[in-house]
């Protein structure tokens, strides 16, 4: 199956910051006006002529990006939890502050995506993230020849050269 990995568009965290949200509450931020425009431009790419399904991460900025894509194309949309972003707290409780998440990400990057046994923070390793995403994509391989997945930058790094991906940037992978 051909998979177009698409990074969500430009997010804003102004509302969630004003509301004092932390942890998973931070993921409720939508797109900036520029982010909406970028998503609308992305939606007009010719690649969507072959896409049979758009999958989206459940995070609001990914969903809003996917919404703009399906608005311009007659493609069904599904939300799949497995496409969420890297977890700074792999326990599922995610009550971290922005500072704790930043510290976890710094450790993650310092250790090339590995979580050491001495790590004070239980972040998701790169290998765990890639396994999670591949398991998610494999669920669709028998039913589709080509899908698009709106996901996140760190997820996309696991399927390429580890370089940053621009908002609405696309990477193509194959999943058997």
Burial-class residue 52 by CB neighbours within 10 Å (0-12, 13-18, 19+): middle
CA distance 104 to 91: 13
Helix residue ranges, H only, the chain: 14-18, 33-43, 60-72, 98-110, 126-141, 153-157
Model-wide pTM > 0.85: yes
Calculate mean pLDDT across residues 100-120.
Answer: 87
Task: Classify 105 as helix, strand or coil.
Answer: helix
Q: pLDDT tier at 23 (50, 70, 90 boundaries)?
A: low
Higher-confidence position of 96 and 140: 140
Sign for the CA dihedral angle at 127, 133, 136, 140 comes to: negative
CA terminus-to-terminus distance, the chain: 6
Q: What percent of the chain has pLDDT over 70?
A: 95
């Amino acid at each position: 199956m051909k998979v177009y990995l698409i990074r969500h568009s430009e997010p804003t965290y102004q509302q969630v910051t004003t509301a004092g949200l932390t942890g998973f509450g931070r993921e409720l931020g939508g797109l900036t006006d520029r982010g909406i425009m970028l998503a609308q431009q992305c939606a007009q790419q010719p690649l969507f002529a072959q896409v049979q399904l758009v999958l989206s991460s459940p995070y609001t900025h990914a969903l809003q990006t996917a919404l703009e894509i399906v608005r311009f194309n007659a493609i069904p949309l599904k939300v799949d939890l497995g496409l969420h972003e890297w977890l700074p707290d792999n326990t599922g409780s995610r009550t971290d502050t922005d500072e704790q998440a930043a510290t976890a990400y710094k450790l993650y990057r310092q250790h090339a995506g590995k979580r050491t046994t001495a790590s004070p923070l239980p972040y998701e390793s790169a290998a765990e993230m890639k396994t999670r995403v591949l398991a998610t994509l494999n669920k669709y391989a028998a039913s589709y020849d080509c899908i698009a997945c709106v996901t996140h930058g760190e997820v996309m790094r696991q399927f390429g050269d580890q370089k940053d991906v621009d908002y609405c940037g696309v990477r193509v992978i194959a999943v058997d």
